[in-house]
């Protein structure tokens, strides 16, 4: 009896399958194929490009600039935020800024201001904090050539030791510089003429955060300004403790607080991304980048433990937002493999 029942069930399944195949064949429809997702792997650039900054140009391409492990500030280009190629350097030996004799070019920051591309940079000597200088150069195109415009200010001008890691921010028709490295983070209003001459208003200088931070940038979302920064040691290979943190405020001038209401002036913050998945030193992120689906992304540098010879490589991760509006990266660590940004090619 059991054998007969099993045989009937088997024949019924064969009949139903045959009917389904017949209907599909008659209708001319092919069986649905699974949607293929595209993924990328970190690092997205497997070479030393510390302190990356990124801008999307009018043609839809992305341009990345970094501290000069490649002499004279390297420039890389991408159409999708994943595949990058070097297209030159911001300066040549002849056009290189000479505001600080023997200084190195650090932590560039790129912006489009009044139809020009303005490249801000730190010119400094390691360990000599009072000669730290913030300068800028301009170009008609993101790949240059950049023409030197000179100094915005230096440490002695504004009485802030280690005046580096500048971040340019435009808000409600006004311009600001936010800067600092382990001697406090500060903000100050700038005046910019039509030909991009920049002066600063020292009377507007205000401290935003304590002495735990550097690599600052600000992102406006909804009612809040989010102050991203890096804490820890940046440059000790596998011993690096660098990580990216955040606080937020309803005012550009603060106070910036963590989830408990403690202020960044007291070195309190929320973690965004720290070591994990074989990476350490996860910090100094570019300003956030929106893809064409309005997802937010963060480009930053890190050491890869099994490729320390490549020094601080470039990584990419999506920034998510919780129900209370706080940013975070999935699991709080770099991704090894993730779905690509949504980029509509122009």
* pLDDT averaged per 10 residues in sequence order, the chain, 346 residues: 43 41 42 64 98 96 97 97 98 93 93 97 88 96 96 97 97 97 98 97 98 98 98 97 98 98 98 98 97 98 98 98 98 98 88
pLDDT at 20: 41
pLDDT at 345: 79
pLDDT at 37: 58
Q: For the whole model, what pTM was predicted?
A: 0.89
The pair of structure tokens assigned to 292 is 């064409």
* Contact residues for 20 (Cβ-Cβ < 8 A; gap 6+): none
Q: Cis bond leading into 43, ω under 30°?
A: yes
The pair of structure tokens assigned to 177 is 């510089």
Q: How far apart are CA 165 and CA 185, in angstroms?
A: 10
pLDDT at 196: 97
Q: Are 53 and 74 in contact (CB under 8 A)?
A: no
Q: How far apart are CA 229 and CA 246, in angstroms?
A: 6
**Length of the chain (residues):** 346
Which domains does the chain carry?
34-339 (2.115.10.20)
pLDDT at 170: 97
Closest C-alpha to 305, from 341, 278, 270: 278
């Amino acid at each position: 009896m059991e054998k007969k029942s099993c045989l009937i069930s088997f024949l019924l399944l064969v009949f139903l399958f045959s009917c389904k195949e017949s209907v599909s064949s008659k209708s001319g429809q092919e069986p649905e194929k699974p949607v293929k997702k595209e993924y990328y792997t970190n690092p997205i650039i497997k070479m030393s490009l510390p302190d990356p900054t990124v801008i999307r140009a009018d043609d839809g391409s992305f341009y990345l600039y970094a501290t000069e492990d490649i002499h004279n500030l390297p420039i890389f280009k991408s159409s999708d935020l994943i595949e990058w190629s070097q297209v030159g350097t911001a300066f040549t030996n002849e056009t290189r800024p000479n505001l600080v004799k023997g200084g190195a070019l650090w932590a560039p920051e790129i912006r489009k201001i009044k139809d020009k591309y303005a490249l801000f940079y730190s010119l400094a000597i390691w360990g000599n904090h009072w000669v730290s200088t913030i300068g800028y150069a301009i170009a008609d195109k993101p790949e240059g050539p950049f023409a030197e415009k000179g100094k915005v200010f230096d440490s002695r001008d504004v009485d802030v030791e280690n005046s580096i890691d500048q971040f340019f921010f435009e808000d409600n028709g006004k311009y600001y510089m936010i800067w600092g490295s382990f001697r406090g983070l500060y903000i100050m209003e700038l005046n910019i003429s039509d030909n991009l001459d920049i002066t600063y208003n020292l009377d507007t200088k205000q401290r935003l955060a304590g002495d735990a931070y550097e690599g600052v940038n600000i992102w406006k979302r909804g009612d809040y300004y989010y102050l991203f920064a890096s804490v820890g040691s940046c440059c000790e290979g596998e011993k690096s403790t660098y990580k990216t943190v955040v606080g937020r405020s309803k005012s550009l001038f603060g106070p910036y607080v963590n989830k408990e209401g403690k202020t960044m002036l007291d070195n309190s913050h929320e973690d965004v991304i720290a070591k994990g998945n074989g990476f350490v030193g996860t910090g100094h992120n570019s300003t956030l980048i929106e893809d064409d689906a309005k997802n937010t992304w963060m480009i930053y540098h890190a050491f890869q433990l099994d490729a320390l010879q490549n020094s601080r490589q470039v990584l990419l991760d999506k920034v998510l937002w919780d129900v209370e509006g706080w940013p975070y990266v999935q699991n709080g660590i770099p991704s090894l493999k993730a779905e690509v940004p949504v980029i509509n090619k122009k």
